[in-house]
Chains A and B, each alone.
Chain A
Amino acid sequence: QSVLTQPPSLSGAPGQKVTISCTGRSSNFGAGYDVHWYQQLPGTAPKLLIYVNNNRPSGVPDRFSGSKSGTSASLAITGLQAEDEADYYCQSYDSSLSAWVFGGGTKLTVL
């Protein structure tokens, strides 16, 4: 079981908004460690999507946004497009494990 908990799957129709949750603990998010999000398109390496809770790297559309509060974080995707169909992972640092940790991943299907 992952230290960071994500829903295994989500789906949405084109144009809709979806939100992917990532639940952490007092030893990661609760300790002030930031959350980062990665997008993994089928057959490709993960790519940084959101860093330090709510920042987008250059080239990432503003349809993607992130937030973090307490021991939870979330990734929101508005105006869903077919190309957003991918696996999404949250990631942080856990001080009790002294380890970098990933969520189990969420498979997003665009209907």
Chain B
Amino acid sequence: EVQLVQSGTEVRKPGESLKISCQGSGYSFISYWIGWVRQMPGKGLEWMGIINPADSDIRYSPSFQGQVTISVDKSISTAYLRWNSLKASDTAMYYCARMGVTASPFDPWGQGTLVTVSS
């Protein structure tokens, strides 16, 4: 079974750093891109960026460029999303999802990681 499993709920204070993870299994990890999607409370889905595990080629949404860092460790089939200095407005659910070629769908999705940033 193709599966993406994300790390657990995080609670941080403003200004702190954070790295969440997304581990793939049941398929060739380097053959598919991994994307990250934000969903703020009560809001819709926003594409943040995407990484090719084979060569670490990364594309960021202009809205998130410079705000987060996407990386991957293909030796353990895991992609990461990192913040250097969290803001309260980063409070959201974050999903990873697998994607094939450029115009293919995101499937499957991870279960989501809830990040709460509060003083």
Residues of A whose CB lies within 8 Å of any CB of B are 2, 33-34, 36, 38, 45-48, 51-52, 57, 87, 89, 91-93, 97-105
B26 to chain A: closest CB distance in Å? 15
Complex contact B102–A93 (CB within 8 A): yes
Point out the residue from B44, B62, B107 that lies within 8 Å of A102, measured CB to CB.
B44
Complex contact B108–A48 (CB within 8 A): yes
| Binding-face segment, B9-17, B66-74, B109-117 | B109-117
- Given A100-B106, A105-B45, 8 additional A-B pairs, CB 8 A: A36-B105, A36-B106, A45-B95, A47-B108, A51-B104, A51-B107, A100-B50, A103-B44
The size of the chain B interface, using a CB distance under 8 A, is 24
Complex contact A34–B103 (CB within 8 A): yes
Complex contact B47–A99 (CB within 8 A): yes
Q: How far is the CA of A103 from the CA of B95 in the complex (A)?
A: 16
Q: How far is the CA of A52 from the CA of B61 in the complex (A)?
A: 22
**Binding site secondary structure of chain B:** strand
Complex contact B45–A47 (CB within 8 A): no
**Binding site secondary structure of chain A:** strand
Chain A residues near B99 (CB-CB < 8 A):
100
B15 to chain A: closest CB distance in Å? 29
Chain A residues near B112 (CB-CB < 8 A):
45
Q: Which of B32-59 contact A (CB under 8 A)?
A: 35, 37, 44-47, 50, 59
Complex contact A46–B45 (CB within 8 A): yes
Tell whether A2 pairs with B44 under 8 Å between CB atoms, given A45-B112, A93-B102, A98-B59.
yes
Q: Sorted from nearest, which 5 A-B pairs have the closest CB atoms?
A: A36-B105, A48-B107, A105-B44, A51-B105, A100-B47
Q: What are some 22 contacts across the A-B interface (CB < 8 A)?
A: A36-B106, A45-B95, A45-B111, A46-B45, A46-B106, A47-B108, A47-B109, A48-B105, A48-B106, A48-B108, A51-B105, A52-B105, A57-B107, A87-B44, A89-B44, A91-B106, A97-B62, A100-B35, A100-B47, A102-B37, A103-B44, A105-B45
